[in-house]
């Protein structure tokens, strides 16, 4: 059995180094990089890709046989959901930490108004998704990082992390744009009904993320919702012990 970890925007496979080996136990641990992340080449500025390209890339690198527990955070959660549709019976469980199905919120007539309002405010400057000249630059990254954390987070980042994000800024811009344009509706991304699913949400996460978890749990009664108290969206990095504990319970 394989435990397949899919990382989020602006991070990398290293984010899963915080999961102790004994959590995965005897299972095979897979932590591939998404397109445009080390050790792969950067995505050249001007070249556009979507979440579907990342799904195709992920599937092409998987073992030809064997089953998977899928673990995904944020954009990686969206990749995992779309990959599960093609893996079919090879999926044995899913552990999803705030998959960013923001395009689904826009298509959902039953969406929580506060969650929708926060996304509207996030996108009040339409250039954030449309302006390829400014997309992925320091100006763009400051808005992105501060949204997922808190105001001033970009400026407080260590120089090494700012450089890391700047080097992948164009890919990050493509990912965010695709989250809104290519993620599809909740119905387009139905979760497997016959396998255990855990949906994880941070107590302090943005309203948009919490709305996705609410909507997914409503449409997928087989899913178990776990709230990580005292954490936000970046819990795998800021509160790794809590994430590891929840994952261990899920795998048991």
pLDDT at 195 over 80: yes
pLDDT at 122 over 90: no
Backbone angles phi, psi at 25, to 5 degrees: 60, -125
Domains of the chain by start residue, with CATH: 2-251 (3.40.50.1820)
Range in 101-110, 150-159, 200-209, 224-233 with the lowest mean pLDDT: 101-110
pLDDT at 218 over 80: yes
Q: Percentage of the chain surpassing pLDDT 90?
A: 80
Q: What is the number of other CB atoms lying within 10 angstroms of the CB of residue 7?
A: 24
pLDDT tens digits along 36-88? 999 999 999 999 999 999 999 999 999 999 999 999 999 999 999 999 999 99
Which pLDDT belongs to residue 116? 79
Q: How confident is the model at residue 111 (pLDDT cuts 50, 70, 90)?
A: confident
Backbone angles phi, psi at 247, to 5 degrees: -65, -40
Give the global pTM. Answer: 0.95
In this prediction, residues 126-153 reach a mean pLDDT of: 92
Angle at alpha carbon of residue 169, lines to 163 and 170, rounded to 5°: 145
Does residue 36 come out as left (phi exceeding 0), alpha (psi in the -120 to 50 range) or beta? left
pLDDT at 125 over 80: no
Q: How confident is the model at residue 186 (pLDDT cuts 50, 70, 90)?
A: very high
- Between the alpha carbon of residue 176 and those of residues 50, 96, 130, the distances in Å are 9, 18, 11
């Amino acid at each position: 059995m394989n435990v397949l970890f899919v990382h989020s925007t602006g991070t990398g496979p290293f984010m899963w180094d915080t999961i102790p080996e004994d959590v995965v136990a005897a299972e095979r641990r897979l932590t591939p990089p998404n397109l445009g992340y080390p050790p792969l080449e950067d995505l050249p500025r001007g070249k556009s890709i979507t979440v579907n390209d990342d799904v195709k890339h992920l599937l092409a690198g998987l073992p030809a046989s064997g089953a998977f527990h899928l673990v995904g955070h944020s954009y990686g959660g969206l990749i995992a959901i779309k990959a599960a549709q093609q893996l079919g019976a090879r999926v044995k469980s899913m552990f999803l930490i705030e998959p960013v199905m923001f395009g689904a919120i826009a298509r959902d007539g039953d969406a929580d108004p506060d969650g929708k309002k926060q996304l509207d405010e996030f996108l009040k400057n339409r250039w954030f998704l449309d302006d390829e000249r400014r997309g992925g630059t320091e100006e763009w990254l400051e808005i992105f990082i501060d949204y997922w954390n808190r105001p001033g987070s970009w400026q407080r980042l260590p120089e090494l992390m700012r450089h890391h994000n700047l080097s992948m800024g164009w890919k990050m811009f493509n990912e965010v744009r695709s989250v809104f344009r290519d993620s599809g509706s909740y119905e387009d991304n139905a979760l497997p009904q016959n396998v255990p699913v855990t949906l994880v949400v941070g107590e302090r996460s943005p309203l948009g993320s919490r709305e996705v978890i609410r909507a997914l749990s409503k449409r997928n009664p087989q899913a178990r919702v776990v709230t990580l108290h005292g954490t936000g969206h970046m819990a795998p990095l800021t509160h790794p012990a809590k994430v590891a504990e929840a994952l261990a319970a899920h795998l048991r």
